Amino acid sequence: MMKTETTARTRRTVLALAGTAALLAAASACSSSASSPAGSSKGGSSGTITLTAMDYFTSEPAHSAVGDILNSCAASVGVRITHESVANPQLMPKVLQELSSHTLPDLLMLDNPNLQQIAQTGALTPLDTAGVDLSGYYPSILAAGSYQGKAYGLAPGVNSIALIYNKSMLAAAGIAPPATWAELTTDAKKLTTAQHEGFALSADNDGEGAWQYLPFFWSSGADFANLDSAAAVQSLQLLTGMVSDGSMSKSVVNWAQSDVNDQFIAGKVAMMVNGPWQFPLLNAATSLHYGVAPIPVPAAGDTLKVPLGGEVWTVPVTSTATEQAAGKVLACMNSSANQLSYAKQVGYIPSLESAATQLAASDPSMGPFVAEVATALSRTAEVGTKYPAIATAIETAEQSALTGASSPQSALATAQTTATQGS
Amino acid sequence: MNRSARSWRSTVLALLILAVLLFPVYWMINVSLQKNATSFTTTWFPVHLSLSGYRQALSDQGGHMLVSLIVALGATAISTTVATPAAWALAKFRLPGRGWIIFIALATQMIPGIVIANALYGTYNSLHLLNSLPGLILADASLGIPFSILLMRSFMTAVPGEILDAARVDGAGRLRAFLRIAVPVSRNGIITAALFSFLFAWSDFLFALTLTTTGSVTPITLGIYQYLGAQTEQWSPVMATAVIACAPSAILLVLAQRFIASGITGGAVK
Amino acid sequence: MTHTASPAGHSPASRARRRERAAQWLFLTPALLYMAAFFGYPIIKNIVMSFQDYSISSLYTGAAPFAGLLNYRAIFSSGLFGQLAWNTAVFTVVSLAGQFTIGLVLAVFFARNFPLNGVIRALLLLPWLIPLVASATVWRWMLGQDGVINTMLESLHLAPSTGVQWLASTSVALFAVILVNIWIGIPFNMVILYSGLREIPAEVNEAAALDGVGAITRFRYITWPMLRPVVTVVVVLGFIYTIKVIDIILVITGGGPANASQTLAVESYQLSFRTFLFGQGAAMGNILILISIILALVYLRFNRAALRTEGEL
């Protein structure tokens, strides 16, 4: 009895294995063509070069916006382009792998603070060698895309952050958007009710926390060399003060900029720090009336210093032919017309001064951002490749202070020690 | 009469446990049925039922499900074929150094996945195995092999040696003894191990991400990330994809549980 | 147990024995080759990298100067290591205890026969089957200050009206990720323990029950000893998998706030992929592996007495 059972089972097992083997064979037949490594430019039958482009715009509208520009530029240059997008947190790990196997794509997008690290390796082609014209750009943007004086990356669009506020809530409380820190603290308190908090920003530890804290940090006069200066402590106290007042929720340490935006749209926050890329979502919320104002400065008359955001496109080192072709595509992507079209679709600001002024003229809500971008600071300008470690230290300090785990003073003192001891 | 009342009480208790433990899953399905859900625009029940998330997920991810299926089945086949004899050898044969081999199998599980993935990337690149189904199948099989060996071995050690002796006395060769006696008798262990190999391969994200550079081979774990962009997140399709992605595994598990019968060894030994 | 009865020293017999041995090794060869290729090479590479000054440039150029113990010293002197070790210990021990206990209770409960047993048991596996990005995100929403968990706790008067700061408090964040980790790990434990329980012949238990032995005593003296081998596998593997966890923590708290939920595994990942200090990341990874090895050895040694049955380690 057991014998027949065993035979039946063995037969079933063998059949299953055979079936899987057949599947495997079919599968390998299907995929044998797709085994060439990324980044190699394959010459087509007519000799057209195919370029690969990689970015992290997996969702709309950015994906189509970039895709369309790439395609039209490819057509005008006479090449073909494969556009590949990976999710934001996976871009850098992928770039690192491709660095080690020398299989970087022909056009690579990087978030601007990461450019210096990659340029340092020697894997990128200087843009002047690739034949890209570098005139007419905001100096900070060129600086962000440069390493040791040579430009390696160019951003078709840039952005920064400002104070976005709920017009109805401010009108109901009878106040105008705050311009100084003192006003920000008082207004945030006035705007805090049982239904909504007065102010929110992103204080997470994934890069966005540091990014959003920098306007306050820099405008107070602090800099990366001394994270625990008196000015720095004051800037952090501004934020912790609002938490103790109840005007800002402690949950901000867990919010990314998109979470802050969601809270704002839901009417749970009266003022937020965020950027123009949120406009498509903000505009879609038809019952919401929002306004844009510059981020408050410590005292009237102080200069506002904001960080420069946006992605740069680079030309990794491949072969001369592909580098030249990629350079041409890059130059085309950065034409005035393409920059304006891109900016309008995704809520960015063109990096060409002329195009940016045009945008401000046609769209007043972008005015504050255009003004900011002219003086925005690149995060890596002073500290170069040390920025990631410094950002991490700052975020830890910010979170520590906001959650009440330590005072702003000691938190920043720890940050200074951590940042200076890292190799 | 008393017995069936007690049985139904157990069922009620089981359902309560299910409700508590599966609440997050309910929440996930709730989100997947609403349009443009965020962390708090989600209501307790999907009042305005919208299948748009599912429509988008199905049209975008259908092919990816097939890729996941092929990869997981292939990986399971390889993993089970390689691991079962090894587990048997470690459980029954008195080979020198078997303790070390068991420990090495254990140690492989301690290595962070990212370390393996990064090292594999370089090798796969040189061998032109990137973006290939066989490549991914081989990599995912490695997820299941050490685990299967350890798990099956623990089941197999419980198999009384008398069964094998009886077979050997009857003149069966080693391989036949293995296939005809060992395998059926360790059925529970083998099925459980195969199940886990399938699940490990199906839910693998790291190798899927690392060993594919173009979009030609995309399992569903990677497909989900298509909806998570630089600034916006579309949670309805994400959750809908997650729900859809569970379905094959859930079906497989229900089917497999039927095969895990009780007291397999009872009666086989005279 | 296989006996090859052979008179010592006789050629044909010892040849037969050697052939037997060789054939036995063949059972193991494919597995050994696989493990060497997929695990041996990466671990060696990782060990080497931990002794090098490995930067992004090294990835590209291949040049990485030898740095001796610099990376290890940097890790231990960073001031963060103590907290990382503590967080990791708490995370692993509490997660494992929770997952295993609940998994065992459920496995025992479902070992009985009652209507809908199979269906419910299958459905309980869902937490483990759902892609991690989805389940971790749902939990992140549920644990938010205005999230559903707080709403329920407040209505049951188990929490203050402002709710518990699950993710934004340095004292609670670690337990938030532990909670999620337990939830995800229960099915793994339950399935394996259930399988193990089904292996145990029912007759022994029934005979004891007829003799009037209580349920708990029966479990302790009959079921538990026979379950030991499976329990050992589940606990050791559970420990190893838990200490390696990064996705859950990354999605839910990112290791924060202020490293409150940061573990050695997450720090190792971030050292490499956030601050690009690959040498240090590799070193921390190796420390993690070493801890796993030591603890696994200790546990297995501890268990040796209980496992001294036929064919066991």
Higher pLDDT, A191 or C299: A191
pLDDT for C214 equals: 82
| A354, pLDDT greater than 60 | yes
Confidence band, pLDDT 50/70/90 cuts, at residue A25: very low
Collect all residues of chain C within an 8 Å Cβ-Cβ radius of residue B161: 1-2, 310-311
User: Tokens 């690579």 correspond to what residue?
Assistant: A108
Percentage above 70 pLDDT, chain A: 88
Q: What is the 3-state secondary structure (H, E, C) of C115-170?
A: CCHHHHHHHCCHHHHCCHHHHHHHHHHHCCCCCHHHHHHHHCCCCCCCCCCCCCCC
Provide mean pLDDT across the span A40-59: 72
pLDDT for C18 equals: 80
pLDDT for B40 equals: 66
Higher pLDDT, A21 or B180: B180
Q: Output b/e per residue, A50-63; b: 16+ Cβ within 10 A.
A: bbbbbbbbbbebbb
pLDDT in tens, C166-211: 999 999 999 999 999 999 999 989 988 888 888 788 788 788 888 8
Collect all residues of chain B within an 8 Å Cβ-Cβ radius of residue C35: 104-105, 108, 142, 145-146
pLDDT for A21 equals: 42
Is C274 close to A388, i.e. CB distance below 8 A?
A: yes
pLDDT in tens, C8-28: 556 777 887 787 788 788 889
Neighbours of B18 (CB within 10 A): 18
Name the neighbours of A, counting chains with at least 3 Cβ pairs within 8 A.
B, C
Question: Who contacts B176 (Cβ-Cβ below 8 Å, separation ≥6)?
Answer: none
Interchain contact C229–A (C-beta under 8 A): no
pLDDT for B177 equals: 67
Mean pLDDT over all residues of chain A?
Answer: 85
Interchain contact B149–C (C-beta under 8 A): yes
pLDDT for A39 equals: 40
User: Tokens 């820190």 correspond to what residue?
Assistant: A181
C160 upstream amide cis, omega within 30 of 0: no
Percentage above 90 pLDDT, chain A: 60
Residue of chain A minimizing CA distance to C254: A205
Sketch the domain layout of chain C as residue ranges: 49-304
Confidence band, pLDDT 50/70/90 cuts, at residue C145: confident
Higher pLDDT, A281 or A236: A236
Q: Nearest-CA neighbor of A255 among C252, B43, C170, C136?
A: C252
pLDDT for B131 equals: 87
pTM of the prediction?
0.85
Q: Which of A10-24, A125-139, A171-185, A299-313 has the lowest mean pLDDT?
A: A10-24
pLDDT for C200 equals: 81
The torsion defined by the Cα of A189, A195, A200 and A203, in degrees rounded to 10, comes to 120
Question: CA-CA distance, A422 to C75, in Å (whole number)?
Answer: 10
Query: What separation, in Å, do the N-terminal and C-terminal C-alpha atoms of chain C show?
Result: 15
The torsion defined by the Cα of C243, A386, C279 and A39, in degrees rounded to 10, comes to 100
Confidence band, pLDDT 50/70/90 cuts, at residue A349: very high
Higher pLDDT, A384 or B42: A384
Question: How many Å is the maximal CA-CA distance in chain A?
Answer: 95
Higher pLDDT, C136 or C195: C136
Mutation test of the interface with chain C: which of A58, A111, A239, A403, choosing the one with the most C Cβ atoms within 10 A?
A: A403
Stretch (H or E) spanning B175: helix B174-177
pLDDT in tens, C107-129: 988 888 888 887 888 888 888 88
CATH number for domain A50-159+309-375, candidates 3.20.20.70, 3.40.190.10, 3.40.1440.10, 3.40.50.300: 3.40.190.10
Is A27 close to B225, i.e. CB distance below 8 A?
A: no
Q: Which fold has domain C49-304?
A: MetI-like fold (1.10.3720)
pLDDT for C97 equals: 95
Percentage above 90 pLDDT, chain C: 36
Is A57 close to B230, i.e. CB distance below 8 A?
A: yes
pLDDT in tens, C38-47: 999 999 999 9
The structural domains of chain B, ordered by start, are 53-259 (1.10.3720.10)
Confidence band, pLDDT 50/70/90 cuts, at residue C81: very high
Higher pLDDT, A4 or B200: B200
3-class secondary-structure state, position A330: helix
Structure tokens given for C143: 């644990």
Window 204-233 of C, Cβ < 8 Å to B: 226, 229-230, 232-233
Question: CA-CA distance, A232 to A217, in Å (whole number)?
Answer: 6
pLDDT for B55 equals: 86
Confidence band, pLDDT 50/70/90 cuts, at residue C230: confident
| A209, pLDDT greater than 90 | yes
Please, is C277 exposed, middle or buried when counting C-beta atoms within 10 Å of its C-beta (0-12, 13-18, 19+)? buried
pLDDT for C305 equals: 57
Q: Tell me the nearest-neighbour CA distance from C221 into chain B, angstroms.
A: 17
pLDDT for A323 equals: 92
pLDDT for A135 equals: 87
Long-range contacts, C222-227 (Cβ 8 Å, 24+): C223/C108, C223/C197, C225/C306, C226/B158, C226/C199, C226/C200, C227/C193, C227/C196, C227/C197, C227/C200
Higher pLDDT, A133 or B158: A133
Question: CA-CA distance, A267 to A260, in Å (whole number)?
Answer: 11
Residue of chain B minimizing CA distance to C33: B82
Question: Who contacts A201 (Cβ-Cβ below 8 Å, separation ≥6)?
Answer: A212, A213, A239, A248, A252, A260, A272, A273
| A244, pLDDT greater than 90 | yes
Q: Tell me the nearest-neighbour CA distance from B142 into chain C, angstroms.
A: 7
Q: At CA A293, angle to CA A289 and CA A294, rounded to 5? A: 155
Q: Nearest-CA neighbor of A379 among A101, A143, A189, A182?
A: A143
pLDDT in tens, A245-272: 999 999 999 999 988 998 999 999 999 9
Tell which CATH architecture fits domain A162-306+383-421. Answer: 3-Layer(aba) Sandwich (3.40)
pLDDT for C134 equals: 86
Is A96 close to C170, i.e. CB distance below 8 A?
A: no
Confidence band, pLDDT 50/70/90 cuts, at residue C71: very high
Question: CA-CA distance, B57 to B33, in Å (whole number)?
Answer: 12
Sketch the domain layout of chain A as residue ranges: 50-159+309-375, 162-306+383-421
pLDDT below 70 — which residues of chain B?
Answer: 1-3, 37, 39-42, 164-165, 167-178, 229-232, 257-270
Interchain contact C146–B (C-beta under 8 A): yes
Is A60 close to B137, i.e. CB distance below 8 A?
A: no
